[in-house]
C-alpha cells in the first residue's frame, strides 16, 4: 500500500485504527505549552513518515535551517532503509544548521548511516559536531563505530541546554585526516523538561556526598535499559520519544537472576514529586531480581557490564519499583549497589525509599572515570545483610547511563577500536557485491563455503515441535524472555547495543561481511561471552533430557532429534536440538553463530536459551513452544480450527518477528525459510518465528557460491532468489505471502497429487483466483462468511503484493505488518458492529475439522527444508514458462523457473 492510500484510509478509519494501533497511552511531558519537535531528514526535500513511531520527517532542503546551499546530497547507495537513514547530506567543509529555539533543555538526536555516498568512501569520513558551546563529537568516524559495534547505522542522543535564541549545529570535517568529509542523515531536536536536576545525585565513591549539579551541562545518553523487560520503542516512552533497551545482553556471568512482571493487582502510582516523563510505566512494570535462592544470592552478584568512554563523568540513574507481593514492607529486600567495585549505596531498600509497593523511585549516582579510550563500567547488586533482612535479594527495574560534559563542554570520546576481524575494506562492505573481484575475496569465500555447508547442516536440524503438553505456568520467566503482556510492536528495537553509546539501531543492507559479530565489549571478547548466552555442560543436557530418553523426542529431522527437556531443577521446559557431533573447526563456526543468535531476542522469535559444545556435541537449547507449529492448527490436524482473528493475530506476530530480524538486529537477518512449520505457538497463542539466524547474511550469500546453497522450501521459494541467487529481505516477504494464503486457504503450499495442475502450487493458484476475483471460493470452508469483506480484501491484496515477481515490487515486512494490523482492525470493527460473526475459539468439531482430517494428500518430501542445488532438475519441468504463464498458473515451479531475470 503506498502512502497516499494509507493516508486516505487513515482519514477514513483514523480514530479507531490509531487508538487500536497505538495501544500504549502517551503520557505527555509537561512541556507541551511551548514544545518543539523538529525532525529533519537530511539531504532531501521529501517528507517521509515513520509510521512506527508516528513521526513525520521533513526534508531539510525545504526548511530555513539550511543557510548555505554548498553541500551535496546523496541517496543511499544500496537498499532502502527507513527514514531518516535513506538520504544524507554531505559536507566537505564546515557547515552550520541554525535552529531558532527558545532557551531551555533539548534532546538532540543525530542519525548516522555510514555508507559510500556518491564517489566517497565510508571510511574516509571523519568529522566534528558542535552544538552551541558543546563539542558533541570530534574526529568521529561513524564507519569505525558501526563496524566495531556491528551495526549499520546509529543514533547519538544528547541533552543540551540552549541559552540563546538560536542553536548552531556545525559539522566540521576533520582537518587531520586526508579526504575527510562529514555527513548526517537525520537531525531531531525536541524540547525536554529538565530531567536531570529533578533529584539529588550522589557521588558513587562510598562517601555518599552530593554531586553539585551544573544546569549548564550537556549529557550524552549511553544506555537506557528496561531491566527485566523488553525493549520499548520511542512511541512507548512517556512523551520524550526515548527508546529503552532490553538489558539482558549486558549481564555479566552466569547469574542472570530472574525477570518478572508486576502482580496484576498492583498498580504503578507515581508519587506526586515524580513526573511521569522520568520513565514510562512499562519500565517499572518489569524487573530483574537475583532469584529465589538465598544461598546462591549470597555467593553471587547480579552484574551488568556497560562499555563507556574513559575520562568522563557519568550519571547513572537507577529506576526501582517493588511490583510483586509480598514485597510491601521495609527490610524485606535490602541490597548494595556497587559501581565499578565501589559502594555507591548500601542498605538500599526500595520500599523504605519509595513508601510502598507499586510506587516508583529513582536514584542518581555520579561516577568519575579516568584514562582515555574505552572502558567497562560495572554495575553490581548484592544483598546487604547488615539489617535483619528477610529475603537475600536485590531488584532493578531500569537503568540509564549518561555521559556528562563536565570538562570544557566536551562530550566527544575516541572512536572505538574495532576487533581485528571486523576491519574490512569498506568498499567491500558497502558496494554491490557483484562488482567484487573474485581473487580478493577468495580466501574469505573458501572459509565461508565450508562454514555455509556446515551451517546449512545445522539449520537442517529439524524443528518439528509436535508439542502437546501445556507449558507449566511459571511467573518467573527465563532470562531474556520478553514480557507476556507486551503488545506493542518494537521494530527498531535498538536492541543489541553491545557497546558504548546508546540508541544504536538496525542493520539494513544485506551485503555486510558478517565474518564475525565480535561482541565488541573489549574486555571479554572471548569466543563466547557468557553474558550473551547460557552455556550448558553436557552433563546438564543429559540430566535435562533424561539421557536423551527416546520418550522425550518431540520430532526428528534429517540431521538430528529434538527433545523436550527440563532445566533449572525442572522449573523451565525447553526444547533441545541435538545435531551430529562436530569437528574442531565446526565448533568455532558453531560458536560464532551462537553468538549472533543469542543476541536476537524478541517476543515473536523463539529464543535460543543456550548451547552445549562439550565432547564435540552440537546442542541448542530453545524455549519450549506448547502449541507446536502453525501448520498443525491449519490442516491435516485434529486441532480445532483457528478463528480468523486468531489467524490474523498469529500472522501479525510472525510478521513482527520477521520485521525484527530484518531491521531490529545488528545485522539484517534473512530468515530464508519462512513457512508455517517455522512459526510456532506458545501456550498463549503468541506466534514465534523459529529456525532463523543460522542462515545469517554476509558473504555466505556471495554470488560466487550461493548457487550451491539455495535454501528454502518448495512452495515458498522466492522466484527471484531462485533465478538470480540474490537474496534479500524480500525473499522472506515472498515466503510470508505464501504463508498468508496458506493460513487463509488452509491447504499446503504444494499438493502434488489428486488436484488439477493449476492448483498444485498455492501461490500460483491463489494469485490466479485473486486476480479473477474468485478468491473467496478457495478459502478455508470454516472461514466462509466469517471474514469481514473489507478485511479479506485488505488481507488478500497484501498477500498478493508479497508474491510480486520482482522483489522490488514487494512491500517491506514492515508494510505487510501494518496492513495486517489494519486488516485485523477491520475485522474487529465488523465483528463489533455485528456485521460478521467471527466464530469462537473453543474447539467444537465443525464440519471443517472433519474435512480437514481427510484432507489433501501428503506434500512432496522435498517440501521440507533442504539444501538444494540450483541445477536440480525441478522434476524435469520445462524452463520455458514466461510471464504470461504466471497469470495462468502452470507447473509447480513456474514461479521459480521463470527465466526472465537471468
Ligand atoms: C505543567 O506545568 C505547569 C507550570 O509550568 C503546571 O501549572 C501544570 O500543573 C503542569 N501540568 C502537569 C500535567 O503537570
Ligand atoms: C514560548 O516560546 C516563545 C518564543 O518562541 C517565548 O517568547 C515564550 O516565552 C515561550 N513561552 C513559554 C511558556 O515558555
Ligand atoms: C500522530 O502524530 C500526529 C501529528 O503529530 C498527531 O496529530 C496524532 O495525534 C498522532 N497519533 C497518535 C496516536 O498519537
Ligand atoms: C550562529 O551562527 C551565526 C552565523 O554563523 C551567528 O551569526 C550567530 O551568532 C551564531 N549563533 C550562536 C548562538 O552562536
Ligand atoms: C571548521 O571547524 C573546525 C572545528 O569546529 C575549526 O577548527 C576549523 O578552523 C573550521 N574551519 C574553517 C575553514 O572555518
Ligand atoms: C541552562 O543554563 C543556564 C546557565 O547555566 C541556567 O541558568 C539554566 O537554568 C539552564 N537551563 C536548564 C533548563 O537547565
Ligand atoms: C495480590 O495478588 C497476590 C497474588 O498474586 C496476593 O498474594 C496478594 O495478597 C494480593 N494482594 C491484594 C492486596 O489483593
Ligand atoms: C560482588 O561484587 C563486589 C563488588 O564488586 C565484590 O566485592 C564481591 O567480591 C563480589 N562477590 C562475588 C561473589 O563475586
Q: Is 168 in the pocket of ligand 5 (CB under 6 A)?
A: no
End-to-end CA distance of the chain: 28
Q: Decide if 485 contacts 603 (C-beta within 8 A).
A: no
Q: Taking residues 252-280, what's their average pLDDT?
A: 90
Which ligand is in closest contact with the Cα of 327? 7
| Conformation bin of residue 386: beta by default, left when phi > 0, alpha when psi is -120 to 50 | alpha
pLDDT by residue (tens digit) across 20-37? 333 222 333 333 446 899
CA of 350 to the centre of ligand 7 (A): 19
Decide if 355 is inside a domain.
Answer: yes
pLDDT at 543 (0 to 100): 87
Q: Is 164 in the pocket of ligand 4 (CB under 6 A)?
A: yes
CA of 301 to the centre of ligand 8 (A): 6
Nearest CA to ligand 8 atom 7: 341
665: confidence class by pLDDT, cuts 50, 70, 90: low
DSSP code for 86: T
846 and 710 together in one domain: yes
Q: Please give the Cα distance from 762 to 36 (Å, whole number).
A: 51
Give the atom of ligand 5 at the shortest distance from the alpha carbon of 94. 1
Give the atom of ligand 5 at the shortest distance from the alpha carbon of 170. 5
CA of 266 to the centre of ligand 7 (A): 8
712: confidence class by pLDDT, cuts 50, 70, 90: low
Q: Is 94 in the pocket of ligand 5 (CB under 6 A)?
A: yes
pLDDT at 734 (0 to 100): 94
Which one of 295, 376, 382 would you pick to mutate in the ligand 8 pocket, going by the greatest count of ligand atoms within 8 A of its CB?
382
pLDDT at 357 (0 to 100): 94
For residue 213, how many other CB atoms are within 10 A of its CB?
Answer: 17
Of 128, 162, 191, the last residue of a domain is 191
Helix residue ranges per DSSP H, 74-205: 142-149
Q: Is 325 in the pocket of ligand 7 (CB under 6 A)?
A: yes
Decide if 17 is inside a domain.
Answer: no
Q: Is 129 in the pocket of ligand 5 (CB under 6 A)?
A: no
CA of 141 to the centre of ligand 4 (A): 26
Which one of 253, 296, 298, 301 would you pick to mutate in the ligand 8 pocket, going by the greatest count of ligand atoms within 8 A of its CB?
301
Which ligand is in closest contact with the Cα of 102? 2
pLDDT at 186 (0 to 100): 94
CA of 193 to the centre of ligand 2 (A): 14
Position 2 pLDDT exceeds 50? no
CATH code of 44's domain: 2.60.120.430
CATH code of 545's domain: 3.30.200.20
CA of 234 to the centre of ligand 3 (A): 13
Position 882 pLDDT exceeds 50? no
Residues 6+ apart with CB under 8 A from 99: 38, 65, 166, 167, 168, 169, 189
Q: Please give the Cα distance from 799 to 802 (Å, whole number).
A: 5
Position 648 pLDDT exceeds 90? yes
CA of 295 to the centre of ligand 8 (A): 15
Q: For residue 609, give its domain range.
A: 492-623
Of 398, 415, 432, the last residue of a domain is 415
Q: Is 68 in the pocket of ligand 4 (CB under 6 A)?
A: no
Out of 72-86, 334-348, 679-693, pick the least confident: 72-86
Decide if 468 is inside a domain.
Answer: no
Q: Please give the Cα distance from 356 to 311 (Å, whole number).
A: 38
Residue numbers annotated as active site: 673
Position 119 pLDDT exceeds 90? no
Tally the domains of the chain: 4
pLDDT at 848 (0 to 100): 37
pLDDT at 573 (0 to 100): 87
Of 349, 384, 415, the last residue of a domain is 415
Out of 130-144, 827-841, 888-902, pick the least confident: 888-902
- Burial zone of 750 (CB within 10 Å; 0-12 exposed, 13-18 middle, 19+ buried): buried
Decide if 472 is inside a domain.
Answer: no
Q: Decide if 373 contacts 310 (C-beta within 8 A).
A: yes
Out of 77-81, 227-231, 441-445, pick the least confident: 441-445
pLDDT at 593 (0 to 100): 67
Residues 6+ apart with CB under 8 A from 800: 737, 767, 770, 771
Which ligand is in closest contact with the Cα of 163? 6
Q: Please give the Cα distance from 323 to 796 (Å, whole number).
A: 44
Decide if 752 is inside a domain.
Answer: yes
For residue 37, how many other CB atoms are within 10 A of its CB?
Answer: 14
Pairing of strands 687-689, 286-289: unpaired
Q: Is 264 in the pocket of ligand 2 (CB under 6 A)?
A: no
855 and 717 together in one domain: yes
CATH code of 635's domain: 1.10.510.10
Position 641 pLDDT exceeds 80? yes
257 and 371 together in one domain: yes
Decide if 250 is inside a domain.
Answer: yes
pLDDT at 899 (0 to 100): 30
Which ligand is in closest contact with the Cα of 335? 8
Nearest CA to ligand 2 atom 3: 102
Q: Please give the Cα distance from 625 to 690 (Å, whole number).
A: 10
Give the atom of ligand 2 at the shortest distance from the alpha carbon of 33. 13
Higher pLDDT, 633 or 900: 633
529 and 617 together in one domain: yes
Decide if 879 is inside a domain.
Answer: no
Position 469 pLDDT exceeds 50? no
Position 657 pLDDT exceeds 80? yes
586: confidence class by pLDDT, cuts 50, 70, 90: low
Give the atom of ligand 7 at the shortest distance from the alpha carbon of 263. 5
Position 51 pLDDT exceeds 80? no
How many helices and strands in the chain, by DSSP H and E? 19, 37
237 and 145 together in one domain: no
Cα dihedral 894, 897, 901, 902 in deg (nearest 10): -160
256 and 167 together in one domain: no
pLDDT at 270 (0 to 100): 95
Which ligand is in closest contact with the Cα of 337? 8
Nearest CA to ligand 8 atom 5: 341
Q: Decide if 336 contacts 374 (C-beta within 8 A).
A: no
Q: Taking residues 70-91, what's their average pLDDT?
A: 71
Nearest CA to ligand 6 atom 5: 216
Please report, rounded to a whole number, the percentage of residues in the chain having pLDDT higher than 70.
Answer: 69
Q: Is 168 in the pocket of ligand 4 (CB under 6 A)?
A: yes
Give the atom of ligand 8 at the shortest distance from the alpha carbon of 300. 13
Position 356 pLDDT exceeds 60? yes
Take residue 71 and report the three cell numbers written for it: 553541500
pLDDT by residue (tens digit) across 420-446? 543 343 333 333 333 333 333 333 333
pLDDT at 584 (0 to 100): 59
pLDDT by residue (tens digit) across 490-527? 222 222 222 223 333 333 222 222 222 222 222 222 23
Higher pLDDT, 220 or 517: 220
pLDDT by residue (tens digit) across 267-315? 999 999 999 999 999 999 999 999 888 888 998 999 999 999 999 999 9
Position 396 pLDDT exceeds 60? yes
228 and 295 together in one domain: yes
Q: Please give the Cα distance from 731 to 812 (Å, whole number).
A: 10
CA of 375 to the centre of ligand 8 (A): 19
Higher pLDDT, 708 or 531: 531
Which one of 290, 299, 345, 380 would you pick to mutate in the ligand 8 pocket, going by the greatest count of ligand atoms within 8 A of its CB?
380
pLDDT by residue (tens digit) across 161-216? 999 999 999 999 999 988 999 999 999 999 999 899 888 899 888 777 888 888 88
Decide if 437 is inside a domain.
Answer: no
724 and 794 together in one domain: yes
DSSP code for 761: B
Q: Taking residues 624-644, what's their average pLDDT?
A: 90
613 and 640 together in one domain: no
pLDDT at 806 (0 to 100): 87
155 and 233 together in one domain: no
Give the predicted TM-score (pTM) of the model: 0.55
Higher pLDDT, 341 or 717: 341
Pairing of strands 334-339, 374-383: antiparallel
pLDDT at 486 (0 to 100): 28
Position 350 pLDDT exceeds 70? yes
Residues 6+ apart with CB under 8 A from 467: 554, 564, 575, 624, 625, 626, 627, 628
Task: Answer yes or no: is 561 a known binding residue.
Answer: no
3-state SS, 324-359, equals: CCCCCCCCCEEEEEEECCEEEEEEEEHHHHHCCCCC
Per-range mean pLDDT, top range of 136-140, 495-499, 589-593, 812-816: 136-140
Q: Taking residues 600-622, what's their average pLDDT?
A: 81
Q: Is 32 in the pocket of ligand 2 (CB under 6 A)?
A: no
605 and 635 together in one domain: no
678 and 695 together in one domain: yes
Nearest CA to ligand 6 atom 2: 216
Helices 762-772 and 789-802 cross at an angle (nearest 10°) of 130
Amino acid at each position: 500500500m503506498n502512502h497516499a492510500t494509507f493516508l486516505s484510509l487513515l482519514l477514513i478509519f483514523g480514530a479507531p485504527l490509531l487508538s487500536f494501533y497505538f495501544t500504549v497511552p502517551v503520557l505527555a511531558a509537561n512541556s507541551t505549552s511551548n514544545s518543539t519537535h523538529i525532525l529533519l531528514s537530511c539531504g532531501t526535500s521529501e517528507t517521509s513518515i515513520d509510521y512506527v513511531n508516528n513521526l513525520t520527517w521533513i526534508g531539510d532542503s525545504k526548511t530555513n535551517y539550511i543557510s548555505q546551499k554548498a553541500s551535496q546530497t546523496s541517496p543511499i547507495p544500496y537498499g532502502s532503509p527507513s527514514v531518516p537513514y535513506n538520504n544524507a547530506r554531505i559536507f566537505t567543509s564546515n557547515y552550520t544548521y541554525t535552529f531558532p529555539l527558545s532557551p531551555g533543555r533539548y534532546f538532540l538526536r543525530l542519525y548516522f548511516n555510514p555508507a559510500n555516498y556518491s564517489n566517497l568512501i565510508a571510511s574516509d569520513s571523519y568529522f566534528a559536531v558542535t552544538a552551541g558551546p558543546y563539542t558533541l563529537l570530534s574526529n568521529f568516524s561513524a564507519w569505525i563505530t558501526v563496524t566495531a559495534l556491528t551495526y549499520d547505522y546509529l543514533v547519538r542522543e544528547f541533552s543540551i541546554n540552549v541559552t540563546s535564541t538560536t542553536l548552531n549545529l556545525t559539522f566540521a570535517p576533520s582537518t587531520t585526516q586526508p579526504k575527510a568529509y562529514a555527513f548526517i542523515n537525520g537531525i531531531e531536536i525536541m524540547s525536554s523538561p529538565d530531567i536531570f536536576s529533578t533529584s539529588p545525585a550522589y557521588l558513587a565513591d562510598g562517601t555518599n556526598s552530593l554531586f553539585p549539579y551544573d544546569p549548564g551541562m550537556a549529557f550524552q545518553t549511553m544506555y537506557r535499559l528496561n531491566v527485566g523487560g523488553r525493549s520499548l520503542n520511542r512511541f512507548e516512552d512517556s512523551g520524550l520519544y526515548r527508546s529503552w533497551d532490553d538489558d539482558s545482553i549486558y549481564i555479566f556471568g552466569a547469574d542472570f537472576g530472574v525477570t518478572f512482571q508486576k502482580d496484576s493487582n498492583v498498580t504503578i502510582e507515581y508519587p506526586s514529586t515524580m513526573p511521569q516523563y522520568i520513565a514510562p510505566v512499562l519500565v517499572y512494570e518489569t524487573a530483574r531480581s537475583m532469584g529465589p535462592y538465598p544461598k546462591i544470592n549470597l555467593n553471587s552478584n547480579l552484574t551488568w557490564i556497560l562499555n563507556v568512554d574513559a575520562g568522563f563523568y557519568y550519571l547513572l540513574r537507577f529506576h526501582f519499583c517493588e511490583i510483586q507481593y509480598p514485597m510491601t514492607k521495609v527490610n524485606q529486600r535490602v541490597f548494595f549497589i556497587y559501581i565499578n567495585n565501589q559502594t555507591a549505596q548500601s542498605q538500599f531498600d526500595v520500599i523504605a525509599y519509595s513508601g510502598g509497593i507499586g510506587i516508583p523511585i529513582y536514584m542518581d549516582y555520579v561516577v568519575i572515570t579516568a584514562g582515555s579510550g574505552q572502558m567497562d563500567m560495572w554495575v553490581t547488586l548484592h544483598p546487604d545483610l547488615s539489617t535483619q533482612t528477610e529475603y537475600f535479594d536485590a531488584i532493578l527495574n531500569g537503568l540509564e547511563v549518561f555521559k556528562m560534559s563536565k570538562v570544557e563542554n566536551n562530550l566527544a570520546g575516541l572512536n572505538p577500536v574495532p576487533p581485528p576481524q571486523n576491519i574490512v575494506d569498506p568498499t567491500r562492505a558497502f558496494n554491490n557485491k557483484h562488482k567484487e573481484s573474485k581473487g580478493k575475496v577468495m580466501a574469505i569465500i573458501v572459509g565461508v563455503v565450508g562454514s555455509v555447508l556446515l551451517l546449512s547442516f545445522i539449520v537442517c536440524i529439524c524443528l518439528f515441535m509436535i508439542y502437546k503438553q501445556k507449558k507449566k505456568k511459571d511467573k518467573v520467566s527465563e532470562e531474556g524472555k520478553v514480557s507476556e503482556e507486551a503488545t506493542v510492536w518494537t521494530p527498531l528495537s535498538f536492541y543489541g547495543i553491545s557497546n558504548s553509546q546508546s540508541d544504536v539501531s538496525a542493520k539494513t543492507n544485506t551485503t555486510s561481511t558478517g565474518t564475525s559479530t565480535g561482541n565488541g565489549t573489549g574486555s571479554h571478547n572471548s569466543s563466547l561471552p557468557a553474558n550473551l548466552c547460557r552455556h550448558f555442560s553436557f552433563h546438564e543436557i543429559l540430566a535435562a533430557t533424561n539421557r536423551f530418553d527416546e520418550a522425550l523426542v518431540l520430532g526428528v529431522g534429517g540431521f538430528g532429534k529434538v527433545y523436550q527437556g527440563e532445566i533449572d531443577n525442572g522449573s523451565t521446559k525447553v526444547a533441545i536440538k541435538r545435531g551430529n557431533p562436530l569437528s574442531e573447526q565446526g565448533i568455532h563456526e558453531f560458536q560464532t553463530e551462537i553468538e549472533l543468535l543469542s543476541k536476537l531476542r524478541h517476543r515473536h522469535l523463539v529464543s535460543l536459551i543456550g548451547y552445549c559444545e562439550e565432547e564435540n556435541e552440537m546442542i541448542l537449547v530453545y524455549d519450549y513452544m506448547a502449541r507446536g507449529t502453525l501448520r498443525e492448527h491449519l490442516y491435516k490436524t485434529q486441532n480445532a480450527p483457528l478463528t480468523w482473528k486468531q489467524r490474523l493475530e498469529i500472522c501479525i506476530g510472525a510478521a513482527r518477528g520477521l520485521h525484527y530480524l530484518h531491521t531490529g538486529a545488528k545485522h539484517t537477518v534473512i530468515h530464508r525459510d519462512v513457512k508455517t512449520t517455522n512459526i510456532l505457538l506458545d501456550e498463549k497463542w503468541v506466534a514465534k518465528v523459529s529456525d532463523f539466524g543460522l542462515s545469517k547474511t554476509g558473504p555466505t550469500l556471495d554470488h560466487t557460491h550461493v548457487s550451491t546453497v539455495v535454501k528454502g522450501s518448495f512452495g515458498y521459494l522466492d522466484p527471484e532468489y531462485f533465478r538470480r541467487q540474490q537474496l534479500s529481505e524480500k525473499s522472506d516477504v515472498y515466503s510470508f505471502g505464501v504463508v498468508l494464503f496458506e493460513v487463509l486457504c488452509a491447504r499446503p503450499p504444494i499438493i502434488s497429487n489428486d488436484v488439477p495442475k493449476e492448483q498444485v502450487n498455492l501461490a500460483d493458484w491463489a494469485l490466479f483466483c485473486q486476480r479473477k476475483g474468485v478468491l473467496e471460493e478457495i478459502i478455508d470452508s470454516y472461514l466462509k462468511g466469517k471474514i469481514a469483506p473489507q478485511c479479506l480484501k485488505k488481507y488478500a491484496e497484501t498477500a498478493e503484493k508479497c508474491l510480486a515477481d520482482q522483489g522490488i515490487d514487494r512491500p517491506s515486512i514492515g508494510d505487510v505488518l501494518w496492513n495486517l494490523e489494519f486488516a485485523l482492525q477491520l475485522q474487529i470493527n465488523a465483528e463489533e458492529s455485528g456485521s460478521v460473526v467471527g466464530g469462537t475459539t473453543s474447539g467444537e468439531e465443525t464440519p471443517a475439522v472433519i474435512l480437514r482430517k481427510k484432507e489433501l494428500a501428503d506434500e512432496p518430501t522435498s517440501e521440507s527444508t533442504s539444501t538444494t542445488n540450483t541445477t536440480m532438475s525441478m522434476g524435469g519441468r520445462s524452463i520455458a514458462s514466461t510471464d504470461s504463464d504466471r497469470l495462468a498458473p502452470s507447473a509447480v515451479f513456474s514461479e521459480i523457473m521463470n527465466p526472465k531475470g537471468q
